[in-house]
Structure 1
Amino acid sequence: MLINCVAYQNGKKLADIPHTDISEYVQQPGCFVWVALRDPSAEELEEMRKEFGLHELAVEDVTKGHQLPKIEEYGDTLFVVLHLLEMDDAGKINIGEVGVFVGPNYVLSVRSHSGINFLNVRERCEREPHLLKFGAGFVLYALMDAVIDRYIPIIQTLEIELEQVEAKIFSGGTTTRASIEEMYGLKRKLMLVQHSVTPLLEAVSRLYGGRVPQVCLDLQEYYRDIFDHLERISRTIDGLRDILSTAIQVNLSMISLNESAVTKKLAAWAALFAVPTMIAGIYGMNFENMPELKWTLGYPLTLFLMGILDFALWWRFRCAGWL
């Protein structure tokens, strides 16, 4: 589905144009066309492939989807795949994709499986004609910057979730199974974000250092800024994963401590019952030559002895923290 098709020249918008007129504008000096598609049909992609001379392998990647984030060069054209991350009200992270084809005189963005739009990116570019005059390279920067900036609120939300999980661990406000499931769910979310960030680190570094692609010339500092954002996000994810791993170990340790405390209590109560049971068992043997059997004070003294011994054991366990 065609969302936008706009022609720009020397940093200024010329007009919204029909896709059938693209070839007329891309031939003009200093002019480039920015086309945006969402969940396009095979026919639409084939039309764009012929219009811009896109590489078949790149078009195939967009058609199939489910690609890792990457940046590939095909002659003087760049093909960029980015993950679009959205967190819904239930806290689930949904993953969409955008494939961006960038040439000297065109930008084609193909968005799939995502409700995120780039209208604000287009508005930003049009508000900055002094940068938009750099052409398709600046549009690619603006798109990448907008996508990566959306990762930051997700990371902040995951930080808050981690703090809440840590609070529950030490307050005992959740069951063991629930806390473990919550922590592993959080770990999975962090991995999803990391899989969207890590592949881009090396790829983006090629856009500002070494042999820079032609469409990115004069914009190296902007792409270096994107790399810095990615690096900060990656370090934050690594830190959160380390904290989460520690939290999981602490939770397991607290489970072991709780089980140990229960075992101690059970052992203490078993000892309290064992002493009178042992004494009663001795006098329950009914041997004829047991001297205490005929003694008038034997029964009350035996009960008194049971009570004294149990009280002594109870006091000892109490002081030791077993009861």
Structure 2
Amino acid sequence: MLINCVVYEDGTKLADIPVSEIREHISLPGCFVWVALQDATPEELDELQREFGLHPLAVEDARHGHQRPKVEEYGASLFVVLQLLESSGTADAVSRLGELNVFVGKNYLVSVRNHSERGFLEVRERCEREPGLLRNGPGFVLYALMDAVVDRYFPVIDAFEVELETIEQQIFTQGAARASIKRLYGLKQRLTVLKHAIAPLLEGAAKLHGGRVPQICLGSQEYFRDVVDHLDRINASIDAIRDTIATAIQVNLSMVTIEDGEVVKRLAAWASLFAVCTAFAGIWGMNFEHMPELKWRYGYAAALTLIAGTCGYLYYRFRKAGWL
């Protein structure tokens, strides 16, 4: 679905135009066209390929989707893939994964958003409010899109940190070990999704501000460096959260071991009490003719008293030692 198709000249918006008029505007000096689509159909991609001369391999990637983040050069044009993560205030937001494909040339930019309801209207408004920067052409628009996508990663990181803090507070709650392990592993899996969105993009974005910078991005290198700085911060936060999760898992497993040890101690203590009763009963239950105190009138009461007293003393000692 076509969202909008706008032509700009010297950093200023001229008009919204139909796709059929693209070719006559991109031939004008100082003009470039910015086309935005959502969940584009193969027919729409084919039409834009004819209008802008998009590279067929890039169009094929955009058509099939599910690409890893990357920045690829095709002659004088760029093809950029970004993964979209939308935060709903919880760490579960990572499961809501979309994709943004961007085709950039000297006098055009085509953005194709897939599987995401949240658009980039604020990016267009920002660019139009800064005509001095928009004079840099499609390169600056590419930066603005990348910056908006990267900024959306920060709330997801915050949600991860909040979720991890909540789990850490429950680790020392008795009986919560199984639930904590399950939540920690779920958090680790979702964090891996974010890592796969960040790491390749960090590598690709580094090409846009240092070394042999593509011609399209000349004049906007320092802005791309800002994007790389943000990606570095996010990547460092991901690594820190992963280390914390690993530590939390080890602590949780240690708590499980400690709880199992407490159970074993309780069982051993109760087994000892019953063993005393069994030992005394076994001794006095032997059917020998010459048993000590066999004919004693108070022998039964004395035996019960001795058994109860011994068990009581052992219970006291176990209780004092924390076994019961």
Q: Which residue of 2 aligns with 1:307?
A: 308
Q: Which residue of 2 aligns with 1:101?
A: 103
Q: What are the residue-to-residue correspondences of 1:6-85 with 2, within 5 Å?
A: 6-85=6-85
2: distance between equivalents of 1:92 and 1:9?
A: 39
Residue 170 (structure 1) shift: 1.8
2: distance between equivalents of 1:107 and 1:142?
A: 12
2: distance between equivalents of 1:88 and 1:158?
A: 12
Q: Which residue of 1 aligns with 2:248?
A: 247
Counting aligned pairs with the same residue, the percent is 59
- Is 1:116 the counterpart of 2:130? The answer is no
Q: Which residue of 2 aligns with 1:133?
A: 135
Q: Which residue of 2 aligns with 1:215?
A: 216
Could you tell me the TM-score, scaled by structure 1's length?
Answer: 0.97
Pairwise CA RMSD: 1.2
- Secondary structure class of the residue paired with 1:206: helix
Q: Which residue of 2 aligns with 1:165?
A: 167
- Secondary structure class of the residue paired with 1:227: helix
- Secondary structure class of the residue paired with 2:101: strand
- Secondary structure class of the residue paired with 1:211: coil
Residue 321 (structure 1) shift: 1.1
2: distance between equivalents of 1:49 and 1:227?
A: 30
- Secondary structure class of the residue paired with 2:54: coil
Structure 2, unaligned stretches of length 5 or more?
A: none
Structure 1, unaligned stretches of length 5 or more?
A: none
Q: Which residue of 2 aligns with 1:144?
A: 146
**Cα deviations by residue, 1:113-150 (Å, 9 ceiling, x for unpaired):** 11120100000000011100100000000000000100
1: distance between equivalents of 2:201 and 2:93?
A: 23
Residue 301 (structure 1) shift: 2.0
2: distance between equivalents of 1:161 and 1:288?
A: 73
Could you tell me the TM-score, scaled by structure 2's length?
Answer: 0.97
Aligned residues: 322
Q: What are the residue-to-residue correspondences of 1:151-300 with 2, within 5 Å?
A: 151-172=153-174, 175-300=176-301
Residue 87 (structure 1) shift: 3.5
**Cα deviations by residue, 1:171-205 (Å, 9 ceiling, x for unpaired):** 33x63332211111111111111110000111111
The runs of 4+ residues in structure 1 deviating greater than 4 Å are: none
The answer to whether the 8 A contact 2:89-2:159 is kept is no
